[in-house]
Amino acid sequence: MKKINIFCFGFGQVAKNFIKKIKLENLDINLTVTSREQSERKKFEDINYDSYQFSENSYDQKLIKNLKASEYILVSIAPIQGEDIVIKNFQNIFENSKVKLVTYLSATSVYGNHNGDWVDEKSDTKPTSANGIGRLNAEKSWLNLSDKKNLALQIFRLAGIYSNQNNVLTRLKSGNAKIIEKKNQFFSRIHVEDIANILFKSLKNFKTKEIYNISDDKPTSSKELILYASKLLNIEKPEVVDVSKIENQMLKNFYKDSKKVRNKKMKIFFNYKLKYPTYVEGLDHILNNNI
């Protein structure tokens, strides 16, 4: 079977789990990624790949050849000062490339605060945080580029990501978790494996210029999540802090927003059944397999 060319702008936990899924499915790929570190040939999951230096200030010119040859592009780099640096540097490259699909990983922070109500892809976007504002600007930039260059594009709005390595259980064990008390506070989450599975499905099944919420079935408060995790670990619940007492500005901004994110569109279009439909299945699996 012919190898397919995949280019990942950023190679964090989502991109790595996506490549792991590809490896599990025995799909043959040529992989290129970007990193802030110097360019070099690397190995991941027995796949030899090129990693090219790329930051807001500079990039390795050699990456352009691989980018032009890429069929599937995954963009997981956050906006820098409210601007998408991939579009800033490479928008003209896409015109003469072999790209079949660009996936932009956005975030549900674009919805802002909906006072605990449900949101879907048609809901108002009224971000309150710098991250949410930057993500929404980037989405608009990608949609404009898709129109101008006739570029196949899908946007995934990711809920709060957790994984076998990064989760509330590990935070509790290290003493870094607190219960933040705030009424009518809801967040949505998604396990990184479910994101990877949906990304894999989208290689063969996509509809251009569509936006999908990628979240699980059970939005909940951070208090409910931490109480369940404490019970799993059989430890005392951590300190309870009123939201008004939070000093960290980033954390304070995070608790401004409350919403429940619907995932119906994603499940129907990709015909996908979540591996971890709620935090209960996700945390149970992590406890039984990693801790």
The CATH number for 44's domain is: 3.40.50.720
Number of domains in the chain: 1
Q: Is residue 102 part of a domain?
A: yes
pLDDT tens string, the chain, 291 residues long: the values are: 578 999 999 999 999 999 999 999 999 999 999 999 999 999 999 999 999 999 999 999 999 999 999 999 999 999 999 999 999 999 999 877 899 999 999 999 999 999 999 999 999 999 998 899 999 999 999 999 999 999 999 999 999 999 999 999 999 998 888 888 888 899 999 999 999 999 999 999 999 999 999 999 999 999 999 999 999 999 988 888 888 777 777 777 778 899 999 999 999 999 999 999 999 999 999 999 875
- Quote the CA–CA distance of 110 and 133 in Å, as a whole number: 6
Q: Is residue 255 part of a domain?
A: no
* Domain carrying residue 57: 4-163+189-217+261-276
Q: Is residue 242 part of a domain?
A: no
| Predicted TM-score (pTM) of this structure | 0.96
Look up tokens 């946007």; give the residue. Answer: 155
Q: Is residue 208 part of a domain?
A: yes
- Quote the CA–CA distance of 189 and 286 in Å, as a whole number: 15
Q: Is residue 174 part of a domain?
A: no
Token pair of 289, please?
Answer: 């397999």
Look up tokens 């070099």; give the residue. Answer: 40
Q: How far is CA 243 from the centre of its chain?
A: 26
Q: Is residue 11 part of a domain?
A: yes
Q: Is residue 182 part of a domain?
A: no
Q: Is residue 179 part of a domain?
A: no
Integer-rounded Cα radius of gyration of the chain: 19
DSSP state of 1: -
